[in-house]
Structure 1
Amino acid sequence: MTLKVELKPGERIIIGESMITNDDQRTRLYIEGNAPILREKDILTVDSANTPAKRIYLAVQLMYLSQEVTKFQDNYFSLIHDIMLAAPSTIPFVAKISNYMIADQLYKALKEARALIDHEKKIFAALNSASAEGK
């Protein structure tokens, strides 16, 4: 099955182990094969992984891009342990991420990790709201 990707001018994409930067015009790529692919908007860097959920996303991203789950699994297990203790409402998200990883569906695990980040934002917003009301 062929994946069609349209890139905006200057947009970047990772295909396999290569970062590709589009020129100054819109481009359409047709990609065949099994290489991991991430668009720029889905790429998280070490510097931008500044919350527990983002660090989990980064761990899953590294597993997906390298296709080496075992290399990053100790870090992943440590991160999910901490987030589940701190925020039990994250357990369903972590369970889905882990199940996708077990099924070797790392891209789906990555998408679920994105949902975990969204959930974490809601937790932080609720905490900030409660804190503001308490003042």
Structure 2
Amino acid sequence: MLRIGLRDGERVIINGAVLRAQGRVTLAVETASAVLRGRDVMRAEEANTPARRLYFACMMAYIEPEAADRHRQAIAARAGELFAALAHPEMRAACLAVIGHGGAGDFYAALAECRRLVQYEGELLAPGDAA
């Protein structure tokens, strides 16, 4: 059983349905379900960098399992593009892990790898200190 605590107004996606808490609430998910907290949801317009586009493709595969084949193709294409652009061995390994998890249908694990890639990309693109 998975317990999820939500604050007032916080959103969660469960099997593609968007739910919003009214008041503080704890949900107990008793069956296998695709659960994504609101803070982990990315809107299409936020997918504006290579790592973010990969994250978005993995997220869509996770919350739309009925379209998994289409999303797997997008994941492989986005991960391949990002892999080619990265020099850091650990981040290149993360791209390969995303492809592996996506191919196996473990989109939640692919999302975890994507979070690392998005963070790394953000650090690379962050403006330097002007000193």
Q: Which amino acid aligns with 2:100?
A: N
- The answer for the alignment partner of 1:4 in structure 2 is 3
Gaps of 5+ in 2: none
**How many matched pairs?**
128
Partners of 1:92 and 1:120 in 2: CA distance: 14
RMSD value over aligned CA atoms?
1.8
Deviation at 1:81, TM superposition (A): 2.1
- The answer for the alignment partner of 1:111 in structure 2 is 112
Q: Which moved more, 1:45-54 or 1:99-108?
A: 99-108
Deviation at 1:14, TM superposition (A): 0.4
Structure with higher Rg: it is 1
TM norm structure 1: 0.85
Q: 1:37 to 1:106 in 2, by over 3 A?
A: same
**Pairing 1:1-135 to 2, within 5 Å after superposition:** 2-23=1-22, 25-67=23-65, 68-89=67-88, 90-125=91-126, 128-129=127-128
Does the 8 Å CA contact 2:94/2:113 hold for their aligned counterparts? yes
Q: Which moved more, 1:75-84 or 1:5-14?
A: 75-84
Q: Which amino acid aligns with 1:6?
A: G
User: Percentage identity across aligned positions?
Assistant: 26
Q: Which amino acid aligns with 2:94?
A: F
TM norm structure 2: 0.87
Gaps of 5+ in 1: none
Q: Give every structure 1 segment of 4 or more consecutive aligned residues whose post-TM-superposition deviation is greater than 3 Å.
A: none
